Structure 1
Amino acid sequence: MSAETARPHCDLKPQSRPVLRPDLAPRRERLIRMLRLKWVNGTVLHYWFLEGPGPQQDAVRNAFQEWKDLGIGLEFAQVTDRSEAEVRIAFDQADGSWSYVGRDILSINATEPTMNFGWDLTDDYGRTTALHEIGHTLGMPHEHQNPFAGIVWDEPKVYEYFGGAPNHWPPDQTLHNVLRKIDASEVEGSSWDPESVMEYWFPAGLIKEPARFQGGLKPPGGLSDADKAWVLKFFPTLAPLVPVLKPFQSVPLSLAPGGQADFSLKPEASREYEIATFGTADTVLVLFEEVNGELRFVAGDDDSGEARDSRVSAKLFQGRHYVARVRLYWAGESGQTAIMYW
């Protein structure tokens, strides 16, 4: 493929839009929108292949491993049963390459894929494509749609380029994937990274400004330094020791937005338990059970934007090990919250 040959591009699936109360303070709303699709750190994302050639599957496995090798707290595990997978991967060559974003994959019917690869993944562009689609599943958007990028497009040429081979996109698809700017409330104000794995390759003539990209934007491929910093910020290496949360003992949480607290639960009796946060904060609370050395999802709750607390009800069994994880969106007026189980 020559430098100026038209390339196929990722077709990002539309993201869900939370329906929030109109009276939310602007900062509270911004934090919810920015963090709502991020996984609780320590989550094990199980992936499953819908057939597909062996070399293609190997390329995806390698891409998952490349993300994991950064030292992130997320885990990736291949499963052979579709019903056990949050990430379901197809290789339909007639459907392009695409993914849903972050926790949106949990709302997709279990019979449907959440990610597809529509071209060869065994060359350098394919390796970057695999990393790119996994990046979407981690919660990353397209980098060129960063509202702080300052890109000025030659819009007629953009529509013409993406309307032709090999993408054949109608105008609304080009608008969604290229020209539309992400709402500034959903990003952290970070500067544009033209070397990001989430950045498209663009030929000459589509970008008017910045002037240095008038001759084309050609990311080097692979993960940039900014990509690595982003994923380690949201999913840092987990602490080896997790404090034990004892029944009926409230533990205060002092977390910054996006921060997380993890607790080990070792119930002394088998019965129904309640696990909840307390305070005016917006949080995601997720409960996992350790099964054969791996944490498996039991239940979760998200109280963001609502006048209530995150709360999980579940039967816990004596002698088994559980982990509760709390990720904070907004710390509330007091800046404090707490967790307890009983």
Structure 2
Amino acid sequence: MRADDTRVRHCSLPPYPAHTPPDGLEGRRREALLSGRRAWLNGTVLHYCFLSRQRDGGQGDGGRYDGEQREAVRRGFQEWKDLGIGLEFAEVADRTEAEVRIGFRRDAGSWSAVGRDALRVGTASRTVNFGWDLTGPHGRGAVLHQIGHVIGMVHEHQSPYSGILWDEEAVYEDLAGPPNLWPRSRTFHNVIRRLDESETNGPVWDPLSVMGYRFGPGLILEPPCYRAGIAPPGTVSELDAAFARRWYPLPGAEPPELSPFRSAPLGTETGEQRDFVIAPRATRDYTVGVFGECDTVLVLFEEVGGDLRYLAGDDDGGHPRNASLRVHLLRDRRYVLRARVHSCWGPGQAAVMCW
């Protein structure tokens, strides 16, 4: 490869506060919490909007980008969806209705919040930024990479399974120069820092992943085959697709109804999700809760005009309690409850109940 082929701008993920499980958790329980903490519940409709400078206080593009840039992003969402996954992507005009808010600030680099980290960002701010032209040679890869972050994927070259040994000073020097102009802290966070095994996209390294960077010669010392550089093709690889389908399988049959005062079993496998319909016979306050020695996340949606709107959610996050919701439900309305198991760590079957 030519050296100039690798001198491309790189994704610069901002650091977010670490997710720290409670002290004293045994290894597998801790790993399960870390591995699933950023994944959306399957079946979620991720609403995205494009910000504008005039309307959104400098967060958007200010009209400097034409419709081709937005269309490139729309194609990227469709390409991930066409893999056959249970997530939906819907464009909206109002940023307060969007979990994913996209800007095109040229002076802000390209980056995205990873998965559910987007929920930590106020609705006035971007959760994704594209800092360069998306119609150029690496534009498609840049879009697919950032959407990979949106659905919960991390940088593949930081996987501990890669076996990469960096010439660290050479990496710092390379990324300090144009076009990235990164300080050492940003290079460490996005390249040198090795991820925990529980945070990775999968149990093996994928050099073809769209979540990897392109690196020129002289930056990688080991494995020897990559001393001349590495250039992922900028497309969704088979292992990228496997990640998306593992966390977001296509939905099956209509979820069963969760009747008041009758428990329903949950799965026991890490990351397993069960969905239920709640159709109240009376308007009143209800409690929806999990029972059993397990770590879970619960999210309740209300069906409005055929769309599911978020109503309430809880994640016990490994703390000594079970996830539960206290909600006011209306008679003859339809609600969908989604429950995902981080891990089951005690005897017996975990269950959910509405009362």
In the superposition, the TM-score normalised over structure 2's length comes to: 0.93
**Corresponding residue for residue 82 of structure 1:** 95
1:310 to 319, 323, 327: 323
Work out the CA distance in 2 between the residues paired with 1:18 and 1:3: 38
1:271: Cα distance to partner? 1.6
**Corresponding residue for residue 207 of structure 1:** 220
Work out the CA distance in 2 between the residues paired with 1:207 and 1:42: 40
**Corresponding residue for residue 150 of structure 2:** 137
Kindly provide the amino acid, as one letter, of the partner of residue 17 in structure 2: S
Report the more deviating stretch, 133-142 or 187-196.
187-196
**Corresponding residue for residue 249 of structure 2:** 236
Q: How many residues align?
A: 342
1:124: Cα distance to partner? 4.0
Counterpart mapping for 1:1-342 below 5 A: 4-5=4-5, 6-51=7-52, 52=61, 53-187=66-200, 190-334=203-347, 336-342=349-355
Report the more deviating stretch, 3-12 or 95-104.
3-12
Seen in structure 2, the aligned counterparts of structure 1 residues 201 and 140 have a Cα distance that, compared at 3 Å, is: same
For the aligned residue pairs, the C-alpha RMSD in angstroms reads 1.5
Identity rate, percent: 50
Work out the CA distance in 2 between the residues paired with 1:175 and 1:69: 34
Work out the CA distance in 2 between the residues paired with 1:291 and 1:203: 51
Seen in structure 2, the aligned counterparts of structure 1 residues 188 and 279 have a Cα distance that, compared at 3 Å, is: farther
Work out the CA distance in 1 between the residues paired with 2:175 and 2:100: 28
Work out the CA distance in 1 between the residues paired with 2:202 and 2:253: 32
- Give secondary structure in 1 for the equivalent of 2:108: coil
Kindly provide the amino acid, as one letter, of the partner of residue 80 in structure 1: A
Work out the CA distance in 2 between the residues paired with 1:90 and 1:335: 48
Please give the per-residue CA displacement for 1:146-184, whole angstroms capped at 9, x wherever unaligned.
011000111121111100001000111111111110012
1:312: Cα distance to partner? 0.9
Kindly provide the amino acid, as one letter, of the partner of residue 193 in structure 1: D
Work out the CA distance in 1 between the residues paired with 2:203 and 2:4: 29
Residues 268, 343 of structure 2: 8 Å contact kept: no
Please give the per-residue CA displacement for 1:289-332, whole angstroms capped at 9, x wherever unaligned.
11222211110000021111111111111222110000011102
1:2: Cα distance to partner? 6.4
In the superposition, the TM-score normalised over structure 1's length comes to: 0.97
- Any unmatched runs of 5+ in structure 1? none
Kindly provide the amino acid, as one letter, of the partner of residue 144 in structure 1: H
Please give the per-residue CA displacement for 1:7-32, whole angstroms capped at 9, x wherever unaligned.
10000122332233221111111111
Work out the CA distance in 1 between the residues paired with 2:338 and 2:82: 23
Report the more deviating stretch, 325-334 or 141-150.
325-334
- Any unmatched runs of 5+ in structure 2? 53-60
Seen in structure 2, the aligned counterparts of structure 1 residues 189 and 227 have a Cα distance that, compared at 3 Å, is: closer
Work out the CA distance in 2 between the residues paired with 1:248 and 1:286: 19
- Give secondary structure in 1 for the equivalent of 2:107: coil
